[in-house]
Amino acid sequence: MEPTHLFELVIAMFLAIIALHYAAHRLGLPPSVALLTGGALLAFVPGLPAISVDPELVLVIFLPLLLMDGAWAIALARLRRHMIGIASLAVGAVLFTCAVVAVVAHLIFPSLPWAACAALGAIVAPPDAVSARAVLERVKLPRRLQILLEGESLLNDASGLVLFRFAVAAAATGAFSAGEAIGSFFVLALGGAVVGVVVGTAWVKLVRRLGDEYLIIAATVLLGWISYLLGELLHVSGVIATVTTGLIASWHQHTVFSAATRMRGTSFWTVMIFLMEASVFTLIGLSLRDVVERGGGLTTLIATMGLPMLAILVTLVVARFAWVFASDLVIRFCAALGVTRVQPLGAGGATVLSWAGVRGVITLALALSLPEGFPGRDFILATSFAVILGTVLVQGTTLGRVIAWARLVETETERARLTMSQAEVAMVQAQLGTVQSLAYDAEGKLIHPQLLDRYQRRATVIVDYAERTEHYKPVLHAHFDVVLEAVATGRRELIRLHRAGDIDDETLDELERDLDLEELSAISAKA
């Protein structure tokens, strides 16, 4: 394909993403479902060239930044608090699912080598970070379930990748050592964590020296790729390296970023991650054509592999349910003995956690990376795609209903000690203390009376609001509705003055930025 045609195809894909995302919004569907389905339909448009996805390139381009985004947004305190549960899902559930799928695959196809069956299990076992984010952003979960799913999706890729590489090596050499695999996993994970700490620490020191906000944003965007590539270059886990770097950067960004850097960087990052996530699902859909052609056509593929693929998909779902419910039973037993303070999830929480195991880009990339001539390659590739379609289209669209059925409630232990209003009171009182200390000169004369009065009134109002939040909410919403109308009126007048030639572009930009900040503040206050 000519480079210009490739670029045209990329632009066309972005336009399709916008259209599909809009259609999903109008139809009330998860965007991932619309993008995956739309990509699959586009793959069979006459005249459209076949899309051949390079799995290594897909991982290098998409995975680091999407992992960085997940690590950046995750609550670090809750991640530490629930690390045992996350490790159970990211390592234990992946190992268990891989083993169960391998056994079922071998029962279906006894002639398929155990190593190939294990490779299939490793490919489909880890739920995907991108798919998890796409599903979770549309549902409301208690904090504990949210952090378990987010933490699992960040860390389980490393488990799946290690298992997959050992399975492929075993298929090639005919030898496999469980002890060596476990030891290798811990070495890769530890090495990746060390690389992540080094890269993250270097980023913090660099950002403090750069000074220029655009350079800081550029350095932050490159951070995920640098960490991932360095980890892979040193033959440790690039996934763990990227996640560790992201956690360090997220922790320090509140102190090393200026307000302007944070606002500009967040806007740029949000759009970029949106395009990347959408592109992943669209590329998965576009890859369907190659899978169908390799299987001899859709009819032949369903006739020869339909039941085995369905059996693997059902096995995958059942294995996750079995692991989650068994783990919850162990927690319940330990809690009864007073061994642990962790409360069981309960039937509803365990069901939601089990049903949320959506597969995506990792599964596709690993399947496509199988070498030519690998035993059962076509079956593994078709099954991997069926698993992605099944979990995204079925679990992704019904998770909201499952959550509604479960009627989950937030436990007291997961609630923060302070509400937002109480935190605002603490913040404003600290500000007032600073203003009071600086409002007088060395002789004790008040030199900033208006500033002091402003902060005193603000502190009084916020304390009163925190004590009577429910009483003030309707009034507050009405107040900020008026503020937003005033902002809109000011914006129209500003644009009229600019169009009439009464103000220049610089004045327009400065005053428009002030209006933007006022509008964002009002919207945030209403939320």
* pLDDT at residue 462, as a whole number: 81
* Arithmetic mean of pLDDT, 191-215: 93
Instruction: Give me 25's structure tokens.
Output: 């919004």
Q: In the Cβ-directed half-sphere of 64, how many Cα atoms lie within 13 Å?
A: 23
Which one has a higher pLDDT value, 127 or 47?
127
Q: Is 446 helix (H, G, I), strand (E, B) or coil?
A: strand
* pLDDT at residue 411, as a whole number: 67
* pLDDT at residue 249, as a whole number: 92
Q: Are 499 and 527 in contact (CB under 8 A)?
A: no
**φ, ψ for residue 38, nearest 5 deg:** -60, -40
- The fraction of the chain above a pLDDT of 90, given in percent, is 20
Q: Tell me: the pLDDT tens digits for 311-341?
A: 999 999 999 999 999 998 988 887 777 766 6
* pLDDT at residue 130, as a whole number: 63
pTM of the model: 0.79
Cα–Cα distance, 463 to 378 (Å, whole number) = 66
Residue 517 banded pLDDT, cuts 50, 70, 90: confident
Place of tokens 């000690």: 417
Q: Tell me: the pLDDT tens digits for 453-476?
A: 888 888 888 888 777 777 777 877
Q: Is 440 helix (H, G, I), strand (E, B) or coil?
A: strand
Q: Is 288 helix (H, G, I), strand (E, B) or coil?
A: helix
Full DSSP string of 442-459: TTS-BS-HHHHHHHHHHH
Q: Are 349 and 406 in contact (CB under 8 A)?
A: yes
Q: In the Cβ-directed half-sphere of 399, how many Cα atoms lie within 13 Å?
A: 30
Q: Are 185 and 127 in contact (CB under 8 A)?
A: no
Average pLDDT, the chain: 84
Cα–Cα distance, 500 to 220 (Å, whole number) = 41
* pLDDT reading at 136 higher than 60: yes
* pLDDT reading at 412 higher than 60: no
* pLDDT at residue 50, as a whole number: 67
Instruction: Give me 308's structure tokens.
Output: 């085995």
Q: Are 522 and 476 in contact (CB under 8 A)?
A: no
Residue 178 banded pLDDT, cuts 50, 70, 90: low
Measured from the Cβ of residue 367, the count of other Cβ atoms closer than 10 Å reads 25
